[in-house]
Amino acid sequence: MNRRTFITTLAAATAASTVGTTASADHDTDAAAIDLESGDGSHHPGPPRFLHADEAIVDPLGHETEPRDSLAPWNPDGNASYSWAVVESPDGADPELSGDDVVEFDPDEPGDYLLELAAPDGTHELTVRVYPDDSEDDPRPRVDLDAAVVGGQVLLNATASEPEREDVIGSDLEVEFYVDDRHRDRLDGLDGPITAADIDDRVRVYAVAVGTRHSVPDAIDLVPDGDSIAVEHPYDVPDWAEDAVVYEIFTRRFPDQDDPTFDTIADRVEHMADLGVDAVWMTPFVETDRGFGTPPEEGGPHGYHTVDYFATDPDLGTMADFEALVDECHAHDIEVIFDLVINHTADSHPFFEAATDPDHPDHEKYVDWYRWVDRDDLEAEFYFGWGGIPNLNYNNPEVRQFCLEVVDYWVEKVDGIRADVGWGVPQSFWQEMYDRIKRHDPEFLLLDETMPYDVEYAGGLFDVHYDNHLHAALGDAADGNPEAILDAVERRHEEGAPDHALFLQYAENHDTDRYLATHDSEAQRAAAAATFTLPGVPMIYYGQETGLRDWREAMNWGDFDEDVLDFYDRLVDLYHDHPALGPRGRLERIDYAADEGAIAYARYDPETDRRAVVFLNFEAGPQTITVGDYVHDENLLSDSPANMEYHDEDGFAEVTVGTAVILEADEPEGFVLPSDALVEWPSEEGTDHGPGTYTYPETDEIPEGEFDLASVTIEAGEGHYRIEYEFHNELTDPWNGPLGFSHPMMQVYLRDPNGEGGTTEAREGVNAQFEAEYHHRVVADGFVDEFQPRVEDAAGNHVSDVELRYDRNEDPRTITMTVPDDDLDYLPEGEGMALVFSMDGYGEGRIRQVGTDGGDWSFGGAESSTSPNVIDMVTPGDVDQSEALDYSEDEVATIPFAPIGDVVEADDPAEESAGDENEDEGSSPVPGFGVTAGAAGVAGGAAYAASKVLGDADESDAVDETE
């Protein structure tokens, strides 16, 4: 992962943004008991906006699941008028601003735009930063923003990171800082450095990381605190949500069905408490035309067709009954999440009835409250053909005002909101709602439903986000591809999800089939275990823990599957107890071997230095999963010894897994399963001089005999081939290679005797050809940070990565390459050739060239420029090296192939035993990917910044880091 830390002064950030004007206005509420304000109470449209030139801020008709947006005044007054203008734009730009009170904006050129909103309380300016066109296939950077006071001066500290992708060249990351347009006047008139004493009111600052794409912005608030400042992080999730377990109930099917009310739900709160639940998400319980009596073909009594936002469904009970239920939940330390349905109303809502009745006295008013495919014919817009729920029109400030009043009403009654059809409501509304609620109660939880998730919603819109990619991957896992669940989690970071973002992990919910309806019980338990052991917020859908199989059936009180319930009890307890399993623990990919349908991965908590390895089996019947022998033997999920066997001599452990096993573990190590030797190619000692005439470089850093190859062995294992290079001498490491050796480069050429499309021309820098066409090359050197060991096809295309292992303590003469068997199905019947070169990061093909005369860093002894750069190699049969590398002034060497597939048997049992002692104990683990990349600490960054402040350095500097 590329990572850079940027330090700048607040004064520099202030100079980089556009100055705005703030004002104040009253906000009228209707039903709410409290009067919340968004932002500073004015109509200012909120934080600066960031997008690419090929994007626009638009809210089109249709486009199901696609996020939509607009620009709108905050604290809207439905009786007021607003107007917008573009007052500054880049040279040559011709942006389009469309709409009246609420507008869409389509910039056509990258650069800085300044928009002006004329409102009843004054004029407000909004910065829109537009970056060049991007590619959605490129990884997206992330940024973490913090601040500190050093030498009295306020310094900003932003760490930008970008995931590495083999198919994308890493971009040079930069960070841009912006002061909120509403707060810039609080810093007006300050010349030079800005100190803590200069800040007498809250100032919000944003940071955006910029590479080939821009990041989701991060924000901090600088708050006066005596002679200093306090730094607040407005986008942080509530503390209680950091290790929460969410339980979703289908409100009208969860209580006892002979009397389904708020009271009987309260009677069942103890079940949730005993399970260890931290929050209950209740599907809608306000007045609806889809309550009790709704037939199954209409979804049953789901309640998503709202008739009155300020009244409970009388069939469930009164508002007082609901508040008593909330009190009962709170008495059991359970938070309550309200399902907010404001993308649409029911078609029986009084507003829509007025909108569709031209004779209604309020028709002219409410016809503007909805979106119309054909306004003249009063044909309303619906998503997915949901004809009973017409979409609200957020281009109408009065609609926004009303929906904010709904929010105000429920904020005091519940602990969180789940936004139904979150993708259907403009992001600008959610941005205002987030700001409005968090200023009132930072511990209030906001959960979105976006399908698929969009990481933009993590930039001050919501705390927790549906992960439908993981949900789909859990189905793929049961169909034989469990690696999909790790890919889904890794995808969050490739798409640029900020570190503070949390994802809701679920195997089923009220909109999906029950997992047991399509998969067996073993797979269901494994899927549940995945939701609790991958980094995120786990959710249980009511009855998932008791054996329910039908979509929205009644809870099976008195008929629980006790074995399943016990499994969930233990899963929830372990999730709460083990620090590595929390949302912020790191996810690590590890080496494992298993049949189809099984997987192993690790979770690690840096603060406690504890690690757990998770084994999941999605297939019916136990499976054996093999990992390195660093795992402990107690199954944390059952508090009993795991069914496992250690193989100390080979460095691995075999774990028998029914559905889920979780083991405490030390740092992961690689392992190599016993494999069948296909061929061993020996090489005589002292043949490391090319055709026999090369001389070594004069430098002491490349010792004589460094490339003297002893043998190359190819073995076949499960899903891989293992290529072992053994040298006659111990390898040296004068250049501090990341694996512990500096000099050798290994290249193995493989030939399919029946294949087509190969080539006889060796790769760049080799200066030779082959006697027949080859089809793949395995290439590796010790500097894996600069060049990924890999398998390539004959055209040089990357086929797969290669794991490289070298252990100076265990075997200082041997390098092992573990090669996936992808596209190598012609082995072991094929042919091959193994070569050794001197690695030179600046040479052709990273190969050190051989010349006529040697030097400090060059080999000598070549008779002409056609000399091959091969320093040592194996040779077939009775061919010696000088013959295999023979060349002339007019022709390069033609290198022969040797057959693969002859199993080697030791002549002497003692020799075989001695060889086993030198067997590698494991291949290096697959690099893990951090779920939350740790940002550089403020203290460390401040120390660095202090040296800048006290010296004469520039105001903005970047520190390169790698992770």
- Catalytic residues, by residue number, are 420, 449
Instruction: Decide: helix, strand or coil at residue 19.
Output: coil
The β-bridge partners of 700 are none
Taking each continuous run of H as one helix and of E as one strand, the counts in the chain are: 16, 50
Give 759's contacts (C-beta < 8 A, 6+ positions apart).
Answer: 773, 774, 794, 795
Candidates 766, 102, 6, 721; CA nearest to 392 is 102
Transcribe 675-726 into DSSP letters.
Answer: -EEEEEEE--TT--BTBTT-B--SSTTS-TTTT-EEEEEEEEETTEEEEEEE
Q: Can you say how many angstroms the Cα of residue 576 is from the centroid of all Cα atoms in its chain?
A: 22
Residues 6+ apart with CB under 8 A from 819: 720, 721, 722, 723, 778, 791, 800, 802
Q: Mapped to the 3 state alphabet, what secondary structure does 725-736 carry?
A: EEECCCCCCCCC
| Tokens of residue 551, six digits | 């979509």
Distance CA 255, CA 277 (A): 17
Helices of type H across 350-422: 350-355, 363-366, 397-411
- 10 Å Cβ neighbour count for 108? 15
What gap in Å lies between CA 439 and CA 459, rounded to an integer?
16
- With b for 16 or more beta-carbon neighbours within 10 A and e for fewer, the 775-808 pattern comes to bbbbbbbbbbeeeebbbebbeeeebbbbbbbbbe
What would the two tokens of residue 899 be? 């057959």
Edge-to-edge strands, sheet with 644-647: 623-628, 652-657, 644-647
The Cα–Cα gap between 625 and 631 comes to 12
The first and second tokens of residue 536, run together, are 């995120």
Q: Buried b vs exposed e over 229-256: b needs ≥16 C-beta within 10 Å?
A: bebeeebebbeebebbbbbbbbbbbbbb
Q: Go through 32-68 and write b for each residue having 16 or more CB atoms within 10 A of its CB, e for each that does not.
A: beeebbbbbbbbbbbbbbbbbbeebbbbeeeeeeebb
Q: How many residues does the chain have?
A: 963
Using an 8 Å Cβ cutoff, are 394 and 400 in contact?
yes
User: Of 831, 825, 782, which is closest to residue 802 (Cα–Cα)?
Assistant: 782
Cβ-contact 304, 346 below 8 angstroms:
no
How far, in Å, CA of 125 to CA of 530, rounded? Answer: 47
Taking CA atoms, 891 is separated from 660, 863, 864, 879, in Å, by: 62, 12, 10, 19
Q: How many CB atoms lie within 10 A of CB 24?
A: 13
Report the SS3 class of residue 357. Answer: coil
Nearest to 545 by CA among 527, 525, 564: 564
